[in-house]
């Protein structure tokens, strides 16, 4: 396994240099009480030997159809080898069944609104669903009939988020099940108040041997700046007998916040095995977050788990944290048995834009210039796609450090990074080199409002720092992300990557304390005013629109893109979905912002929801042609699931909605298949 020094030699970057200068205890901290540094190193060595012996038994792409985790598989490819539904017959797809969970709120009553992004998990001949009311449903995969349900009876309060939110469940089963013993197969669900529940996958009964009678209180480890519970909105990443657990917090609220610890939990017992912190002890005392709030991916053959790590607090001012923080806003590979850093690449230096790494990197084996490379692709909010060797972190195509804007001097105490990493291939999914063009229609309807706004916004290209002047700085793409948590799908046969994007312009303005108190008019989901309490500046983040709510920048507002990963070139791209305003749908050529990711199948198909118009679609993997669509009751902001049961292929969507797109919520699980006379 590479040492930090050999990794630095391979990487040759500022991040690697910072890793060398950072004491090892700050890179892999808080080993469990019975595991000191030397035993951790011995564990890593013995693990490397065992991996070599068993490497052939854990292929990167499962040998059988698998959709038992948030991204389908641990590699995050979101790929199914099933081809019963294919480009020739997908137009015949019909609804096989649907279920309405009842766990939904539009926020008009006593409960906060719901945001539901749960990938359906197929395992144990069952479809498992986690709801935003923190219930687990076990459904018959052919009919939707309920086998059992489990209610955590969690408090339904929006403690850290503006809504009740869940991205579903995780599934584990023993390699050596004990006959007649319960909880040899377990479903896990986390709650906003930081409780992790373990339930027998066959019966729905709590696993009493896990933690405290089936419930793990993760908040017991929230011991620094505990301003909120460590909300478990994303299901754990299950790697062997490890549950790798991140958490979600409260954006933009505080200068000092809980620091972003990742925990490895024993899947059977709930005991903590190791902890990892992305920030040094010094920075943890004055900053926080740099957490992992989305899913992770893993290479089981090589014993690596890959962490997409977010930015430190406060998000839009970094004068309190000017020292190096090389693991923040990074992809970091850890030894799954010890939590030790194997390699790390930082994608934003001194992040003051809230450019969290918000999706699991997708692992893939690709052939570039005749060389077979164990790679990963990390999509980012900036619309960048970084491709590196997943074993070493070194570039596949060159990643260049380029000079970036240094601000206008209006923000005191700030020290910006001189350069930032830019990929040379694939090319950025959005052109951030100059201000996006004003949409003439929106400008005319707004009486020149968009032109006036553009004139009053600072923009010097990608990484223009926040400012206190005028209407602030233009941010393109915005903090909601050019790519969101759905991440990149990958077809390992054709070596084609599929990714959906949003093209959204926002404005960022900082206010000193006195000005902020006068200006603050509240906030919404990923927009409005936030105090950054403790910092000298509060902030405002708004979408750039005219008085009628029309985007000020030219469409398309969202696309789906296919890339040839042998060359890094675009194969095709097209607008996805229709935007909606005041009940009216815009032309599909304008596209829609997207949340949620694609799935790809051996039937040469891409399945995706994700769009504002709440439609579900299938595209040709080869050409991008739309081949099928259907209407859901709300935007399907979860990744779809593809599975086979009793010889029939199904595609499952959760249509739950997200107010970042629009105020439309749902509780629909809807599953499609070919007519039974066609799928035989």
Judged on CB neighbours under 10 Å (0-12, 13-18, 19+), 584 is exposed
Judged on CB neighbours under 10 Å (0-12, 13-18, 19+), 38 is exposed
Calculate the alpha carbon distances from 651 to 71, 123, 492 in Å. Answer: 14, 14, 20
Q: Could you tell me if 208 and 214 are in contact, meaning their C-beta atoms sit under 8 angstroms apart?
A: yes
Calculate the alpha carbon distances from 414 to 228, 324, 468, 560 in Å. Answer: 27, 14, 13, 37
Which single residue is written with the structure tokens 């050409």?
623
Q: Phi, psi at residue 558, to the nearest 5°?
A: -170, 150
User: What amino acid positions are annotated as catalytic residues?
Assistant: 354
Helices (H) and strands (E) in the chain, counts: 7, 43
Residue 76 and residue 70: Cα distance in Å, rounded?
8
DSSP E strand stretches across 92-145: 94-100, 114-116, 121-123, 126-130, 135-139
Q: Could you tell me if 602 and 527 are in contact, meaning their C-beta atoms sit under 8 angstroms apart?
A: no
- Residue 548: CB atoms within 10 Å: 11
- Name the token pair of 384: 């960048």
Q: Could you tell me if 119 and 70 are in contact, meaning their C-beta atoms sit under 8 angstroms apart?
A: yes
Strands in 385-389's sheet, in edge-to-edge order, are: 362-368, 371-379, 385-389
Residue 146 and residue 304: Cα distance in Å, rounded?
36
Going 216 to 26 to 324 to 413, the CA torsion angle's sign is positive
Which single residue is written with the structure tokens 């020149």?
448
Nearest Cα to Cα of residue 536 among 411, 673, 380: 411
Q: What is the CA radius of gyration of the chain?
A: 23
Q: Could you tell me if 600 and 606 are in contact, meaning their C-beta atoms sit under 8 angstroms apart?
A: yes
Instruction: Please report, in angstroms and rounded to a whole number, the separation of the first and last CA atoms in the chain.
Output: 48
Residue 219 and residue 227: Cα distance in Å, rounded?
11
Residue 44 and residue 32: Cα distance in Å, rounded?
15
DSSP E strand stretches across 52-193: 79-80, 94-100, 114-116, 121-123, 126-130, 135-139, 146-151, 164-166, 170-173, 185-190
Q: Could you tell me if 279 and 216 are in contact, meaning their C-beta atoms sit under 8 angstroms apart?
A: no
Q: Could you tell me if 129 and 168 are in contact, meaning their C-beta atoms sit under 8 angstroms apart?
A: yes
Q: Is 630 helix (H, G, I), strand (E, B) or coil?
A: strand
Residue 329 and residue 584: Cα distance in Å, rounded?
38
Residue 257 and residue 389: Cα distance in Å, rounded?
33
């Amino acid at each position: 396994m590479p040492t930090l020094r050999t990794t630095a030699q391979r990487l040759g970057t500022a991040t690697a240099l910072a890793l060398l200068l950072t004491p090892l205890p700050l890179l892999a901290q808080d080993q469990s009480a019975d595991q000191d540094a030397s035993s951790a190193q011995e564990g890593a060595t013995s693990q490397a030997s065992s991996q070599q012996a068993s490497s052939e038994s854990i292929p990167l792409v499962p040998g059988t159809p698998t959709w038992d985790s948030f991204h389908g598989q641990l590699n995050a490819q979101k790929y199914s080898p099933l081809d019963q539904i294919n480009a020739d017959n997908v137009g015949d797809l019909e609804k096989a069944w649907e279920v309405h969970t009842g766990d939904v709120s539009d926020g008009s009553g006593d409960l906060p609104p719901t945001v539901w992004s749960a990938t359906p998990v197929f395992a144990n001949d069952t479809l498992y669903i986690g709801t935003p009311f923190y219930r687990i449903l076990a459904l018959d995969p052919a009919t939707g009939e309920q086998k059992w349900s489990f209610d955590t009876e969690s408090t339904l309060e929006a403690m850290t988020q503006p809504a009740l939110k869940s991205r579903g469940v995780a599934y584990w089963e023993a390699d050596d099940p004990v006959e007649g013993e319960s909880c040899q197969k377990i479903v896990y669900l986390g709650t906003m108040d930081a409780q992790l529940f373990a339930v027998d996958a066959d019966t729905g009964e709590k696993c009493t041997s896990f933690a405290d009678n089936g419930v793990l209180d993760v908040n017991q480890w929230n011991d620094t700046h505990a301003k909120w519970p460590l909300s478990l909105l994303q299901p754990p990443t299950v790697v062997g007998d490890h549950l790798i657990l991140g958490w979600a917090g409260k954006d933009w609220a505080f200068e000092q916040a809980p620091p972003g610890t990742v925990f490895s939990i024993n899947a059977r017992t709930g005991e903590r095995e190791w902890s990892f912190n992305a920030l040094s002890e010094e920075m943890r005392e004055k900053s926080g977050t740099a957490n992992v709030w989305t899913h992770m991916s893993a290479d089981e053959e090589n014993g690596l788990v890959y962490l997409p790590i977010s930015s430190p607090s406060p998000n839009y001012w970094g004068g309190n944290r000017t020292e190096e923080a090389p693991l923040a806003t990074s992809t970091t590979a850890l030894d799954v048995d010890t939590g030790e850093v194997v390699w790390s690449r930082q994608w934003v230096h001194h992040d003051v834009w809230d450019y969290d790494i918000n999706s699991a990197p997708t692992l893939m084996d690709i052939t570039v210039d005749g060389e077979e490379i164990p790679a990963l692709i990390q999509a980012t909010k900036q619309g960048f796609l970084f491709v590196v060797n997943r074993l070493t972190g070194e570039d596949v195509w060159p990643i260049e450090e380029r000079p970036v804007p240094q601000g206008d001097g209006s923000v005191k105490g700030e020290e910006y990074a001189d350069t930032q990493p830019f990929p040379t291939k694939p090319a950025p999914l959005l052109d951030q080199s100059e201000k996006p063009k004003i949409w003439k229609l929106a400008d005319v309807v707004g009486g020149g409002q968009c032109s006036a706004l553009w004139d009053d916004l600072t923009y010097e290209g990608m990484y223009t720092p926040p400012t206190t002047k005028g209407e602030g700085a233009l941010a393109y793409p915005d903090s909601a992300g050019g790519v969101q948590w759905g991440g990149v799908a990958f077809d390992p046969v054709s070596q084609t990557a599929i990714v959906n994007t949003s093209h959204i312009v926002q404005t960022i303005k900082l206010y000193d304390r006195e000005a902020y108190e006068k200006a603050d008019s509240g906030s919404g989901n990923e927009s409005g005013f936030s105090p950054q309490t403790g910092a000298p500046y509060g902030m405002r983040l708004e979408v750039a629109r005219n008085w009628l709510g029309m985007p000020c920048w030219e469409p398309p507002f969202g696309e789906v893109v296919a890339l040839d990963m042998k060359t890094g070139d675009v194969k095709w791209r097209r607008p996805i979905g229709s935007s909606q305003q005041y009940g009216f749908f815009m032309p599909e050529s304008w596209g829609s912002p997207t949340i949620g990711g694609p799935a790809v199948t051996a039937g040469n198909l891409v399945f995706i929801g994700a769009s504002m118009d709440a439609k579900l679609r299938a595209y040709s993997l080869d050409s991008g042609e739309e081949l099928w669509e259907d209407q859901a009751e709300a935007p399907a902001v979860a990744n779809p699931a593809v599975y086979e049961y009793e010889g029939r292929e199904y595609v499952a969507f959760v249509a739950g909605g997200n107010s970042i797109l629009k105020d439309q919520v749902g509780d629909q699980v809807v599953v499609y298949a070919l007519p039974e006379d066609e799928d035989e």
